[in-house]
Structure 1
Amino acid sequence: MNEATHEQHSTLATFVLPIAKSLRLQGVDPMELLAEADIDPAHVINADRRIPAAKMQQLFSLALRETGNPAFGLLAAEQVQAATLQGLGLAFLASDTVLDALQRLVRFCHVLSTGVELRLQQRDELIDLEFHVGRVVEDDEADYASLDFGMGLVMVMCRMTLGDYVSPISVDTRRPEPEDPDLFMSLMGAKIHFGAEIDRVSFVRSDIVDQLLTANQELAKINDDQAEAYLASFDDVSTARDVVSKIVEKLPDGPPNQSQIAGALNVSNRTLQRKLKDEGTSFVDLLQDTRLELARKYLHNPARSISEISYLLGFSEPSTFSRAFKRWTGEAPADYRQRLQQTSKEES
């Protein structure tokens, strides 16, 4: 299990989208709840953003309060799309078999949430996908709803590969038996054993080892590489990583200074400077490197305009961004993008 505390764990910001859609379907305005949970709606459509686990837990708590539906986590999972999981969702669908897809999910589970460990275990003819969550407080409905969401998400992704032909033979959960257990079982599509000692979804092995019609090894590999790079960008616990995370969060409002980041991390300016020096870097270097790496990443996407990229990187004008990028790389953003596109055409 990741040694970070619950407050330090994070999840994909895009998980807010299915939660918001489920709230709307139940007649609740999600914008009010997002504000109450201190989640910026502008962040949740950005695939590079992450949400602190504590804020996501607060959102589940508010959703349960407003909807009064104890199965809200499973209902929200029903609204998940492959794109919600970033490249991991596409890699899941391009896997050779459902078992291969589950193995991929285990490998990259921290892309989805750093507070969860997934493990595959074989029991005779069964394959168990185990959920190891460090923080599930007894009688905490928000914790149970979050766990429901994770289990339901797996089932939704499996159905995207084989439709209703793939379903678990059973589900074990630490959640106490609810007043309406049939509602939970219908949403999961399986018999659920409540009050269990472990959280797991169990499949018959022969049901998940057949070749999928959507299998595409090349596409799966491309998205695996993307997931590897994304995971590497935040999985190593360090002060520099925390600084970069806060820089990315604040950039759209303009480039933050060191004092602002120190305040966001609840340390003094001097302490932050010392810790970064111990790690062989500085705030100025991290700010420039972060803007440069994000600029290169955004320029790979032709759907992002130069103006939009300028805003995301905290520049007041596209011309200011262009000058900075040329100073960093020796070429203008438009020329860099054109060169990438030309190289791509030649390679294809």
Structure 2
Amino acid sequence: MSEAIPLQYSILGTFLLPVAQALRLHGVDPMELMAEVGIDVAKIANPDWRVPHDNFNLLMQRCVEESNDEAFGLLAGKQMQPQALHGLGFAWLASDTVYGGLKRLARFGKLVSTAADISLLEEADLVVLDLGRIPLSETFHFSSRDYAIGMVARMCSLALGDFLAPVKVQLERPEPQSAERWESMLAARVEFESSRSCLAWYRADILEPLVTGDPELARVNDEQTQTYLDSFMVQSISRGVVDKIVEHLPDGPPNQQQIAQALHVSNRTLQRKLKDEGTSFMDLLQDTRLQLARKYLSHPNRSVVETAYMLGFSEPSTFSRAFKRWTGVAPADFRDSHRLS
């Protein structure tokens, strides 16, 4: 099996500013901590600078450790200012309604993070902002998701000019030691260890017209945001294949023809493009399964059997043999070692 293809997901460099402010509130020097995880803070003067996801996740992990604050991500989100979101932030504040701002976040989510898969759903009398699947990364830290949740709550309140509490919040993260802090900071009921990460509001509350709405200003900033997105969102065929594999796996391992159809290219074209990028469909399928297996087995409440079926294996024994072939250890042993660490 080839070495896993790095996806090189990134976030806006300006997203470090609220994190730095939250660190200062805890009396921690942000510059030292950022340098420790390989982030060159001198580049923050460049508004187009982006930070690799792996570095950002390592930073958030160290922030939690140094601040001794398991809710650090939420605290960082509360420091968010619209300028950190570039044109999206100003378009959000100029939206006619809070709902309009959320629609812009779903539309331009990849400005914030190239791994973003944000969707806005209507469920009965609620509007739900779903942050999408957790990025495929061994460095992922749940405080990064807390930061996103806190940022959305903060921006909604800034748009309204008053605090706007969500009706409910669902988080994939394990339940923290002080779960009540999440409910206090978000002023909402929080469900942990959920199947998704999302916030929900009553539809009527977020459709109230905002006195600060400025359609022309919002349009100008939308155009600026789209131009910025177009300048860097050039995805490799490998990344597209990995994304489609992740979508298909719960129904069984997809074949190359299925993925080619999902990407609207011919089987031969897909094979040629992957070869040009130094990989193959089977390499990406196996690498994706391995990375997902490691992530799932690191979760304290996910069994080997559940992991096997989520990765498209028809039998847990088949998954166990494959995992041991890939890593040299049995999945149960891998899971137990992470539970004890």
Q: What SS class does the counterpart of residue 117 from structure 1 fall into? A: coil
Displacement of 1:55 in angstroms is: 0.8
**1:127–1:202: 8 Å Cα contact kept in structure 2?**
yes
- Considering only aligned residues, what root-mean-square deviation do their CA atoms show, in Å? 2.3
**2:223 is aligned with 1:225:** yes
User: Equivalences for 1:256-295 in 2 at 5 Å?
Assistant: none
Match of 2:102, as an amino acid?
A: L
Match of 1:193, as an amino acid?
A: E
Query: Hey, what does 1:157 align to over in structure 2?
Result: 155
**Larger relative contact order (Cα-Cα within 8 Å, sequence gap ≥ 6):** 2
Query: Hey, what does 1:13 align to over in structure 2?
Result: 13
Q: What SS class does the counterpart of residue 64 from structure 1 fall into? A: helix
**2:70 is aligned with 1:79:** no
Displacement of 1:158 in angstroms is: 0.3
User: Equivalences for 1:83-162 in 2 at 5 Å?
Assistant: 83-135=83-135, 143-162=141-160
Query: Hey, what does 1:252 align to over in structure 2?
Result: none
Q: What SS class does the counterpart of residue 59 from structure 1 fall into? A: helix
For normalisation by structure 1, the TM-score amounts to 0.65
Q: What SS class does the counterpart of residue 8 from structure 1 fall into? A: coil
Cα distance, 1:110–1:137 mapped onto 2, change above 3 Å: closer
**1:12–1:51: 8 Å Cα contact kept in structure 2?**
yes
Q: Distance in 2 between matches of 1:105 and 1:134?
A: 17
Query: Hey, what does 1:193 align to over in structure 2?
Result: 191
Match of 2:29, as an amino acid?
A: D
Match of 2:235, as an amino acid?
A: V
Q: Distance in 1 between matches of 2:50 and 2:189?
A: 33
Q: Distance in 2 between matches of 1:227 and 1:105?
A: 11
Q: What SS class does the counterpart of residue 45 from structure 2 fall into? A: coil
Query: Hey, what does 2:36 align to over in structure 1?
Result: 36
% same residue = 41
Displacement of 1:188 in angstroms is: 1.5
Q: Distance in 2 between matches of 1:183 and 1:212?
A: 30
**2:58–2:141: 8 Å Cα contact kept in structure 1?**
no
Displacement of 1:6 in angstroms is: 6.3
For normalisation by structure 2, the TM-score amounts to 0.66
Cα distance, 1:181–1:236 mapped onto 2, change above 3 Å: same
Query: Hey, what does 1:59 align to over in structure 2?
Result: 59
Q: Distance in 2 between matches of 1:166 and 1:208?
A: 9
List structure 1 runs of 4+ shifted beyond 6 angstroms: none
Match of 1:198, as an amino acid?
A: R
User: Deviations 1:34-85 (Å, cap 9, x if unpaired)?
Assistant: 1111111121232111111111111111111211111010001111100010
Displacement of 1:230 in angstroms is: 0.4
**2:206 is aligned with 1:204:** no
Match of 1:71, as an amino acid?
A: A
Q: What SS class does the counterpart of residue 192 from structure 1 fall into? A: strand
Q: 5+ unaligned residues in a row in structure 1: which ranges?
A: 240-274, 279-348
Cα distance, 1:201–1:146 mapped onto 2, change above 3 Å: same
**2:103–2:120: 8 Å Cα contact kept in structure 1?**
yes
User: Deviations 1:211-242 (Å, cap 9, x if unpaired)?
Assistant: 11110011000100000000001112259xxx
Cα distance, 1:178–1:238 mapped onto 2, change above 3 Å: closer
Query: Hey, what does 1:177 align to over in structure 2?
Result: 175
Q: Distance in 2 between matches of 1:89 and 1:207?
A: 21
Q: Distance in 1 between matches of 2:163 and 2:81?
A: 19
Aligned residues: 237
Query: Hey, what does 2:336 align to over in structure 1?
Result: none
**1:88–1:227: 8 Å Cα contact kept in structure 2?**
yes
Query: Hey, what does 1:338 align to over in structure 2?
Result: none
User: Deviations 1:180-203 (Å, cap 9, x if unpaired)?
Assistant: 111111111211011111111011
Q: What SS class does the counterpart of residue 116 from structure 1 fall into? A: coil
User: Deviations 1:89-109 (Å, cap 9, x if unpaired)?
Assistant: 000000011111100110000
Cα distance, 1:160–1:49 mapped onto 2, change above 3 Å: same
